[in-house]
Amino acid sequence: MSASYDVRGNVAVITLNNPPVNGLGYDTRRGIADGIDRANADPAIKAIVITGAGRAFSGGADIREFGTPKAIAEPNLLSLILQAEGSAKPIVAALHSVVMGGGLELSLGCHYRVAAAGTQIALPEVKIGLVPGAGGTQRLPRVLGVETALNMIVSGEPVKSEMLAMIPGQKLIDKMIDGDLLAGAIAFATEVADKRPLPLVRNLKATHPNADGYFAFARNTVKAMAKNFPAPAKCVDCVEAAVSMKFDDGMRFERDTFLALMLTPESKALRHAFLGERAASKIPDVPEDTPQRKIEKVAVIGAGTMGGGISMNFLNAGIPVTILEMKQDALDRGVGVMRKNYEAQVKKGKLKQDKYDQRMALLKTTLSYDDIKDADLVIEAVFEEMGVKEGVFKTLDEVMKPGAILASNTSTLDLNKIAAFTRRPQDVIGTHFFSPANVMKLLEVVRGEKTAKDVLATVMAVGKKIKKTAVVSGVCDGFIGNRMIEQYSRQAGFLLDEGCTPVQVDKAIEKFGFAMGPFRMGDLAGNDIGWAIRKRRAVEYPDLKYSKTADLLCEMGRYGQKAQAGWYDYVAGKRDAIPSPVVVEMIEKHRASLGITPRKIGDDEIVQRLVFALVNEGARILEEGIASKASDIDMIYLTGYGFPVWRGGPMCYADTVGLFNVVQAMKRFAQNPRDDAAFWQPAPLLAKLAAEGKSFT
């Protein structure tokens, strides 16, 4: 049973005990329900306190149960709340730490609520594409007022108990408790034990002096903000129902809305991402209790674009960093960029001056390896050349203390080779940050052939500490993210050859929801980077076909934003992409030289070719074990490549479309005389799953 029952004097105490956050899974609900029954049956008991053990009152429903029989098994959340409401003896919810979703809804079914200061209170269901489904939208407006409740429900953001307790006329928190919460709750319960009738939130009224005007305004505001997500607007509908309908009708309305949203692809995608984030930290053959190495001091080699951003992550987390460079001026430049970054945050009011000072005080710079030899973790971010990496790793092997973790930020080189430069390949790992490294959420953690399990577990935990979404990748060319994007870029090039313009391709995929189309992205990252990669790949994979347009572009010196000319034209100091007649002419000339008559290509075809190119390579990556699960690939695309969140990532999207349909489309593309039939050969895993009517996830 995941809830315990104790008696303190005349008060029964039911304590939720389902770590880490007392999720309201079946066993916990059963435990609470039994506790309420037992207390009511015991004549010595006069009142009941419900609280949570450990780090939360309750974080809410157990979303792993969603869509399974367990979620609706009696007592479900709704019936449990009804049981609490109907208890003949008063129930006091003792709120602390975290009170979210179903946890808050349960407490609203109790007769009283007392709270400790600092309790984070929220109905976060909107973040997984839902409305609260156990009365939250009906009861919260009744205790907090319509506007405060709607703000909380639409944003899903937590508000501290002491803030809510200050709202005039609020009935959410009957008493704030200083000191021992449980003792305070028991005292409160004793005080109210004989009071009748028992107060029920459902008997309160949710009113607004100008309800029609207010809800019209709220609906407009929400619509503008929530573009692709249906749930926020539904939150408005539900809160309006709390005002306009009788309590039980409002409850039914909320329930129907909740169930309808459960079936939307948007909610499925958001739940997939929510669970995917948690699943990413679980590595099949690395148990959760794998011992970790202590990381208290970090060194970064190279103060360039990446080294600076990487260092900032650790400074922000309060971990001291020493950056090592070859020359003083490179160090000064690197630290200057970091300062500028922080100062911009201070100017915008996002960072306090004293925090900035504290962070910079944690930073040291050096030209000597002697100053970094006791670092627990060293991250190399020098030039992307094997010879340079070799020099650095041989030196690290000489100087670093035993047990130090040696990480490389390489984006394209073979990590196993880098590890082999040392006599301790078990301590070598890849930490592939994305640019700008202080901003981007994604961290690909590259597991070498010999990387030790405790090194992997430590780096995953470090990733969490610096607030990254850390996802494990095996070693292969480009790791997971860039290996897939390579196929996407190749398709984008073929689309130009066949008749598209860069604007058309970018617009189509941006309409699909990508933050940026492939050509705008190329201009931002620098087209010369892809050029260098293609030159290398031309040697390694001589048969690989590319459109020549990207090379022709680079031969024109159009490297992107930094050259104020790329696939688009740019005005100095601005980032707006202006369609370029010169580029269109180049593409047309090249097309003519290939003897291609341009054809009109629809947005649907553009999107499918780009996204299915990702999916097919993703399937290979899964099959080869480079990624251990499909959701890892999705997390990489959601957090590092601007894939639309409400579509859940490429693999989740393919599942939504249906793998059979994906394969059919690929077969159609393979017929296209200009397209590369080999390109559209379905990966064996994809073909197999499609044939069996299965999905990736």
Choose, by CB under 6 A, the member of 45, 159, 275, 388 that binds ligand NAI.
388
The answer to whether residue 416 forms part of the interface with ligand NAI (CB under 6 A) is: no
Give bridge partners of residue 48 from the DSSP assignment.
Answer: 12, 91
- Element housing 161 (H / E): helix 161-165
The 253-292 contact track toward ligand NAI, x by CB under 6 A, reads: ----------------------------------------
Q: Are 123 and 156 in contact (CB under 8 A)?
A: yes
DSSP state of 643: -
Q: How far apart are CA 668 and CA 76, in angstroms?
A: 48
- Residue 80: CB atoms within 10 Å: 23
The pair of structure tokens assigned to 233 is 């607007």
Residue 198 sits in the site that holds ligand NAI (CB under 6 A): no
Choose between 192 and 324: whose C-beta lies nearer to ligand NAI: 324
The Cβ-side half-sphere exposure at 332, using a 13 Å CA radius, reads 3
Interface with ligand NAI in residues 650-669 (CB under 6 A): none
What x/- string results for residues 553 through 592 when contact with ligand NAI is judged by CB under 6 A?
----------------------------------------
User: Looking at beta carbons only, is 301 or 583 nearer to ligand NAI?
Assistant: 301
Please tell me whether residue 411 binds ligand NAI under the rule CB under 6 A. Answer: yes
Residues 6 or more apart in contact with residue 225 via CB below 8 angstroms = 232
Q: Which stretch binds ligand NAI (CB under 6 A): 13-21, 90-98, 154-162, 430-438?
A: 430-438
Burial of 572 (C-beta count, 10 Å sphere; 0-12/13-18/19+): exposed
Are the C-beta atoms of 75 and 30 separated by less than 8 Å? yes
**Peptide bond preceding 20: is omega within 30 degrees of 0, i.e. cis?**
yes
CB closer to ligand NAI out of 182 and 480: 480
| Minimum distance of ligand NAI from residue 180's CB (angstroms) | 50
Query: What's the first-to-final CA gap in the chain, in angstroms?
Result: 31
Q: How far is CA 317 from CA 29, 404, 467, in A?
A: 37, 19, 8
The one catalytic residue among 85, 105, 240, 277: 105
Size of the site for ligand NAI (CB under 6 A): 24
At position 270, the amino acid (one-letter code) is L
Q: 231 or 381, CB closer to ligand NAI?
A: 381
Cβ distance to ligand NAI smaller for residue 393 or 679:
393
Q: Does 444 bind ligand NAI (CB under 6 A)?
A: no
CB of residue 599 vs ligand NAI: minimum separation in angstroms? Answer: 35
Q: Residue 466 CB, nearest distance to ligand NAI (Å)?
A: 16
Q: Which is nearer to ligand NAI, 254 or 325 (CB)?
A: 325
C-beta closer to ligand NAI: residue 304 or 579 = 304
Query: Which residues are paired to 217 by β-bridges?
Result: none
| 317 and 324 Cβ atoms separated by less than 8 Å | no
Contact region for ligand NAI (CB under 6 A) — 95-103, 128-136, 341-349, 379-387?
A: 379-387
Taking CB under 6 A as the rule, does residue 384 contact ligand NAI? yes
Tell me the closest approach of the beta carbon of residue 326 to ligand NAI, in angstroms.
Answer: 5
Which residues are registered as beta bridge partners of 6?
13
Sole binder of ligand NAI in the list 4, 228, 353, 435 (CB under 6 A): 435
Catalytic (active site) residue 157: no
User: How would you list the strands of the sheet with 159-160, edge to edge?
Assistant: 98-100, 120-122, 159-160
Q: Which stretch binds ligand NAI (CB under 6 A): 30-38, 383-391, 421-429, 675-683?
A: 383-391
Determine if 518 is a binding residue for ligand NAI (CB under 6 A): no
Of 65, 85, 125, 444, which residue is the catalytic one?
A: 125
| Residue 88 to residue 36: CA distance in whole angstroms | 10
Residues between 391 and 410 with contacts to ligand NAI, criterion CB under 6 A = 391-392, 409-410
Residues 494, 675: contact at Cβ < 8 Å? yes
Nearest to residue 432, comparing CAs of 408, 460, 449, 467?
408
Paired sense of beta strands 159-160 and 120-122, if any: antiparallel
Buried-exposed string 106-144: b where 16+ CB fall within 10 A, e elsewhere? bbbbbbbbbbbeebbbbbbbbbbbbbbbbbbbbbbbbbb
Active site (annotated) includes residue 65: no
Which residue in the shown chain puts its C-beta closest to ligand NAI? 304
Element spanning 507, H or E: helix 502-512
What is the DSSP secondary structure assignment for residue 131, as one 8-state letter? Answer: -
Our CB check for ligand NAI shows the closer of 528 and 617 to be: 528
Q: Which is nearer to ligand NAI, 384 or 454 (CB)?
A: 384
* Structure token digits, residue 493: 């090039």
From the CB of 528, what's the least distance to ligand NAI, in Å? 12
In the three-class reduction of DSSP (H, G, I as helix; E, B as strand; rest coil), residue 307 is classed as helix
* Interface with ligand NAI, residue 383, by CB under 6 A: yes
Q: Nearer to ligand NAI by C-beta: 292 or 412?
A: 412
381 contributes a contact to ligand NAI by CB under 6 A: yes
* Residue 445 binds ligand NAI, judged by CB under 6 A: no
Query: Binding string to ligand NAI for residues 42 to 81, with x set by CB under 6 A, is what?
Result: ----------------------------------------
Instruction: Name which of residues 297 to 356 contact ligand NAI (CB under 6 A).
Output: 301-307, 324-326, 330
567 neighbors 520 (Cβ within 8 angstroms): yes
Q: Give the active site residues.
A: 105, 125
For binding to ligand NAI (CB under 6 A), which residues are involved? 301-307, 324-326, 330, 381-384, 388, 391-392, 409-411, 433-435
